[in-house]
A and B are shown apart, each in its own frame.
Chain A
Amino acid sequence: MSILEQSETTTPDDVETERPAEGPVADEPATVLPRVSLPETAAHEESVRVGYSRDDVLNLLGALGAGLGVGALMSVGLGIIPVGWMPIVSYGAFVAIYTVLVYLGNPGPAVRDRFWTVVLWSAGTAVVAALALVIGFTFIRGGNVFAQIFSADSEQTLWERLHFFTQDMGGVGPLAGLDQGGVLHAIVGTLIQISIAVLITVPLGLLTAVFLGEVGGRFARVVRTVVEAMTALPSVVAGLFIYAAIIIAITRDPNGFAASLAITVLMLPIMIRASDVVLRLVPGNLREGALALGGGQWRVVWHVVLPTVRSGLVTAIILATAHGIGETAPVLLTSGVTSNLNFNPFDGPMTSLPLSALEFVRSPQQTMIARGFATAATLLVLVLILFLLARAIGGQEVGKTSERQLERFARRSRVTNHRIQTLPERLARAVARAEARATSRQRRLTPDPALEPASAQEEIR
């Protein structure tokens, strides 16, 4: 037993008893523990504590208050710096004061640790705050348009007040008030374009992901490298490509289908990479088990691998859709701008939500700019819904079966069990029928014995 341990866990009296007794065994060679005259120390309460001490909390709170105070004093009180600078100055003062406070009671490494902890917390907070600012600002600036849906003193009926979602901008002049016009054409355009893009992306993306993950080989490695490069494809380049390949070469006019193709080019790599990642999560023993049971590769993929990661694949699809729905530059180049409703993706310009937001804010009119923000807010709501959906579905663990799946499996195995149980009598019935048929055939011509077992097997199935 080491002395260090003793000093913390036992009292000096215990140590005394551990020492070998002298006298009777003095002449025999014995192992003698080193005698240490232990100084009388007060027993420690605890040697290791996890968490924050009172000092830490007080330092932090004090520094926060002092930082805010310094900022307020310098901006509001003394007027040395503009009020807009107060947050930055306060933050700087907070970090400086906190570091000094920690330095007063702690050694160097601990000071550095606390300092960087505060800095990293700030980085996290800054990013979240920036995102909240972007989203919040869009909603607030778009609020003017949405506010009059709920305004009580409007003469319009509730349905008419929803005009922002039920009308297009056709026939609405640049000076028209916010009680007219809407983005129905853009909503329809977005839905049509994203549907076509999803219809192309999902099968192609899944197929490619399965190819990368399940088939493999040298060619698959080449494709994977290309897909990774494709994720960085600038969106405007995708637009230019479709412009050159479809609009210049074939249609001569912008249309919604070309825009869907451009969105597809940008969604494909996202879809492929996301599915590739979830396919890698499938445990190898599931695959091996299925192969050992005699399944071919196709059956293993279709019946084992894909169902296992179904939720992950759905998440991949939704995330790719959320990215595709907000693409602006390729749509700008390929779909054309219109303020009228257009249901035909193959003919005539078809605006989408991000594109119409862009067009609105480029106008000098304040009402148009307000519409632009409202359009962006609508788009943002769509993206948020898709994103939350993806989170909700993607939360499932890989290879874990839900209640409903278990029920379905149970039902299927009951059916199988019934088939197995009734196999003998069905077999007997089938054989009897085959024999009857054979005898009837025998009367007409000579029997063909090769046919009989096959037909009997057919019957059993």
Chain B
Amino acid sequence: MTTLDAPTFTPSYPADQAGLATPQRLRQKLERSDRAFRGIARTGGTIVLAIMIMVGFFLAANGIQAIASVGPVEFLTTAEWSPETGHFGIAALAVGTVLIALVALVVSFPLSVGIALFITEIAPPRLSRALTSVLDLMAAVPSVVFGLWGLAWLQVVIVPFAKWISDWFGWIPIFTVNGVDPNNPLPNDALYTSSTFIAGLVVAMMAIPIMASIMRESFSRAPVGEREGALALGATRWGMIRRVVLPFGQGGVIGATMLGLGRALGETIAIYLIISPVFTINFHILQNGSNSIAAHIALRYGEANEFGLSALMAAGLVLFVGTMLLNSVASTIIALSRSGAESEA
């Protein structure tokens, strides 16, 4: 036994030292109101999740009858649509949807990259804030307004251009227009109206705001240090954009493009107003006649009987699954690119 006035003091430890060394876990005790709050908030999340699951479930439940009656392979490969005779499929619709979306992308991609770079890099601060608002406004303009514009203005203006493309580049298969007689002194303009090309242009207008705003976000995240480094090494502004901003924003650009594609695939009303529906696979984008799944549903739901409606639900299911897949891949890419960029700053 050691006493206080002993020359040395040896501290005594409890026999079991291991138990004391382990860190204690912090335990949080929630109040009753907090538990209720968490429960209610979780319910909100659950309802949203349930709505989304129900969308898929109801489409599948109603569409299964139609798909089962013709078999999934035939449903995906038939171009015609006549549920009354039991002969229908989404081949023409799906190809038309994708073609319209691709035309929209070809037009909207350069414009979106351009305006996104312009906003982040070139425009003076006030102008760039104003342009950001313009993009948001463009996203809020109803699609029926774009559709009306496409129908009444763009279609009239663009026909000579379409004709010019088909005259000069008609030897490329997608620009061919069948039934054109170059020697006809009164050319038939109706051949060039209501085409995939025109629908695609209008859809491009609607894809631009979503693509551009995501690209703008990812460009603005390019680290300042690298930007200044490039400028200090003597790069011009474009050199800096080319070597710093674009590589850093690459993931965002890819993701934004896929989101824009998803938006273009799902667009309904503008296409509904512009195209004249055909049920053959039509790769001639300048030629009258096209189709898309969404517009087809809007056109046909009114006159469909129960089985026809089931077929439309099946088409809607395909569209739903397609856009959801595309969108989740896009979100993943954007999220990955975002986490990479953040590690620097």
B286 sits at the interface (CB 8 A): no
Which one, A84, A112, A214, A386, contacts B41 given CB within 8 A? A214
Which one, B48, B212, B312, B319, contacts A234 given CB within 8 A? B319
- A362 CB, min distance to chain B CBs, angstroms: 8
- Once the chains bind, are B55 and A238 in contact (CB under 8 Å)? yes
Which one, A137, A212, A322, A333, contacts B149 given CB within 8 A? A137
Give chain B residues whose Cβ lies under 8 Å from the Cβ of A215. 38, 41-42
Give chain B residues whose Cβ lies under 8 Å from the Cβ of A358. 144, 147, 269, 273
B23-52 CB contact bits vs A (8 Å, 1 = yes)? Answer: 000000011011011101111111111011
A110-130 CB contact bits vs B (8 Å, 1 = yes)? Answer: 101101110111111011101
CA distance A279 to B55 in the complex (A): 28
- A325 CB, min distance to chain B CBs, angstroms: 7
CA distance A297 to B269 in the complex (A): 45
- Once the chains bind, are B320 and A223 in contact (CB under 8 Å)? no
Which one, A120, A219, A245, A383, contacts B117 given CB within 8 A? A120
Given A123-B110, A232-B259, residue A357 in contact with residue B144 (CB < 8 A): yes
Give chain A residues whose Cβ lies under 8 Å from the Cβ of B140. 319, 322-323, 326, 383, 386-387
Given A135-B141, A219-B45, A268-B48, residue A376 in contact with residue B118 (CB < 8 A): no
- B9 CB, min distance to chain A CBs, angstroms: 39
A82 sits at the interface (CB 8 A): yes
Give chain B residues whose Cβ lies under 8 Å from the Cβ of A325. 142
Give chain A residues whose Cβ lies under 8 Å from the Cβ of B49. 222-223, 226
Give chain B residues whose Cβ lies under 8 Å from the Cβ of A380. 141-142, 145
Given A230-B52, A357-B148, A361-B148, residue A241 in contact with residue B59 (CB < 8 A): yes
Give chain B residues whose Cβ lies under 8 Å from the Cβ of A124. 114-115, 118-119, 122-123, 131
- B130 CB, min distance to chain A CBs, angstroms: 9
How big is chain B's contact interface, by range?
A: 35 or more
- A304 CB, min distance to chain B CBs, angstroms: 14
Which one, A208, A210, A379, contacts B142 given CB within 8 A? A379
B278 sits at the interface (CB 8 A): no
A172 sits at the interface (CB 8 A): no
CA distance A383 to B149 in the complex (A): 17
CA distance A70 to B7 in the complex (A): 106
- Once the chains bind, are B269 and A329 in contact (CB under 8 Å)? yes
Give chain B residues whose Cβ lies under 8 Å from the Cβ of A354. 142, 144, 269
CA distance A119 to B331 in the complex (A): 29
Which one, A226, A369, A379, contacts B52 given CB within 8 A? A226
A224-242 CB contact bits vs B (8 Å, 1 = yes)? Answer: 0111111111111110110
Tell me the nearest residue of chain A to B330, going by C-beta.
A232
Which one, B30, B262, B320, B328, contacts A297 given CB within 8 A? B30
CA distance A323 to B31 in the complex (A): 39
Give chain A residues whose Cβ lies under 8 Å from the Cβ of B326. 232
A373 sits at the interface (CB 8 A): yes
Given A128-B131, A138-B148, residue A113 in contact with residue B239 (CB < 8 A): yes
Give chain A residues whose Cβ lies under 8 Å from the Cβ of B259. 232
B168 sits at the interface (CB 8 A): no
Given A121-B118, A126-B111, residue A241 in contact with residue B54 (CB < 8 A): yes
Which one, B34, B117, B143, B301, contacts A296 given CB within 8 A? B34
- B291 CB, min distance to chain A CBs, angstroms: 14
Give chain A residues whose Cβ lies under 8 Å from the Cβ of B272. 329
Tell me the nearest residue of chain B to A241, going by C-beta.
B55
- A98 CB, min distance to chain B CBs, angstroms: 14
B67 sits at the interface (CB 8 A): no
A19 sits at the interface (CB 8 A): no
B133-171 CB contact bits vs A (8 Å, 1 = yes)? Answer: 111111111111111110111000100100000000000
Which one, A227, A376, A383, contacts B48 given CB within 8 A? A227
- Once the chains bind, are B266 and A236 in contact (CB under 8 Å)? yes
A220 sits at the interface (CB 8 A): yes
- Once the chains bind, are B111 and A327 in contact (CB under 8 Å)? no
Tell me the nearest residue of chain A to B53, going by C-beta.
A226
Give chain B residues whose Cβ lies under 8 Å from the Cβ of A376. 142, 144-145, 148
CA distance A119 to B111 in the complex (A): 10
Which one, B34, B160, B316, B327, contacts A229 given CB within 8 A? B327
B324 sits at the interface (CB 8 A): yes
Tell me the nearest residue of chain B to A109, going by C-beta.
B236
- Once the chains bind, are B266 and A233 in contact (CB under 8 Å)? yes
- B345 CB, min distance to chain A CBs, angstroms: 16
CA distance A376 to B150 in the complex (A): 13
Which one, B212, B297, B301, contacts A127 given CB within 8 A? B212
Write the residues of chain A forming the contact surface with B, with a CB cutoff of 8 angstroms: 82, 84, 109-110, 112-113, 115-117, 119-124, 126-128, 130-131, 133-135, 137-138, 141, 204, 206-208, 210-212, 214-215, 219-220, 222-223, 225-238, 240-241, 243-245, 248, 265, 268, 272, 296-299, 301, 319, 322-323, 325-329, 332-333, 354, 357-358, 361-362, 369, 372-373, 376, 379-380, 383-384, 386-387, 391
Q: Pick 5 A–B contacts, CB within 8 A, sort by A.
A: A134-B146, A207-B44, A241-B54, A361-B148, A376-B145
Interface pairs A-B: 4 shortest CB-CB: A123-B114, A326-B142, A234-B266, A207-B44
